[in-house]
Amino acid sequence: MMTQTMRWFGPADPVSLAAIRQCGATGIVTALHELPNGAVWPQAAIAARKAMIEKAGLTWEVVESLPVHDDIKRGAPTSAQWIETYIESLRNLAACGIRTVTYNFMPLLDWTRTDLAWELPDGARALRFEMEAVAAFDLHILRRTGAEQDYTPETIVAADARFAAMSETERHRLERTIVAGLPGSEEHFSVAQFLAAIALYRDVDVTTLRANHIAFLKAVCPVADALGVQLVVHPDDPPFPIFGLPRAVSTEADIAALFEAEPAASNGLCFCAGSLGARADNDLPGIVRRLGDRIGFLHLRSVQREPNGAFHEAAHLEGDAAMPAIVAAVHALQQHTGRSIPMRPDHGHEMLDDLQRQCNPGYSLIGRMRGLAELRGLERGISVAGATVVHG
């Protein structure tokens, strides 16, 4: 069976460790979020956080995330020093017994949404991404040079109308949603800072970004192999370019190319059904079957794709992810390898009492508890059905 975990953002998280344990999770996925990108994670700080988690009756075996500095992604002259810092943090994590480290290679922004409280028909709230809203921000608030070239004429017309109809409050909310940073995101920008940061990527296309990613892996993986640590890359979210920034971990072919370029055992995958599922051309159960030996961590969530590149977070067993087929593929992988792969329910809805309390967008308590319960039941049912077939 999968190892059931939940993400926790540290002592300031409004969801407590005790509440997570009561949801049925046995493990925590977390990071030292208080440290800036590039800072060494001190061994003492890692040990203290781990002791806090274990005192609550839970385990910490997966880091999410140890950020890769943007200088590495850009291939800046300072890349080598930031890689050495990264390696030092890996050594300190390994010394504390933590062997799975999540990271991403998305320029500047981590996961991006345009609405953090989109109301569903049942009154619950979900995260949503809408390309027209991205274009409205890009063209009218950010005013990025050349932005018009990245959108279809139809999208530009819709974005113009969208922006014109927005109140100042709505415009400010959209700005904050995109550039202020979401839970677990790696950077927090003002509009001016974001525009300046984008300019630093002017000479970085998808080919260059991929080459910089491979260079990072070739520098870090030999050390990770020696430490017994697996680096698991999180796919791009959303899995296509935005704001003129390239993205290179969006499809199965992208991921397979990374493994071909750096075949080290430590070069692994965080399989995120939601990120990959935002593209209809990604075969999610097939990715588990074909790349399963590289999967070290699972984000199980589903998105409902909408017209014109929009999508919203669906309930875990609904939407476009084909979750029963995904979990069946994971179950078969675990049966074949004898592994229990860490899993977490990702991006739960705000529902019931979540609507009356503070929570990090996407990381409500009850919405994730529902997701965990549904995924647990789904896996148990698949397991029992398989045993019936074998022994019946």
Which residues are known to be catalytic? 234, 272, 299, 346-347, 363
Give, rounded to a whole angstrom, the gap between the first and last alpha carbons of the chain: 21
CB contact burial 180-195 (16+ within 10 A = b; e otherwise): eebebbbbebeeeebb
Enumerate residues 6+ apart whose C-beta is below 8 A from 180: 188, 189
Write down how long the chain is.
Answer: 392
Of 18, 21, 43, the closest CA to residue 32 belongs to 43
Q: How many CA atoms lie within 13 A of 44 on its CB side?
A: 0
C-beta of residue 349 within 8 angstroms of C-beta of residue 308: no
How far is Cα 26 from Cα 324, in angstroms, rounded to an integer?
Answer: 22
C-beta of residue 159 within 8 angstroms of C-beta of residue 309: no
Between the CA of residue 334 and those of 16, 289, 365, 387, what are the distances in Å?
Answer: 30, 11, 28, 14
Assigned token pair, 98: 């933590």
Of 85, 96, 88, 36, the closest CA to residue 63 belongs to 96
How far is Cα 56 from Cα 51, in angstroms, rounded to an integer?
Answer: 9
C-beta of residue 319 within 8 angstroms of C-beta of residue 297: no
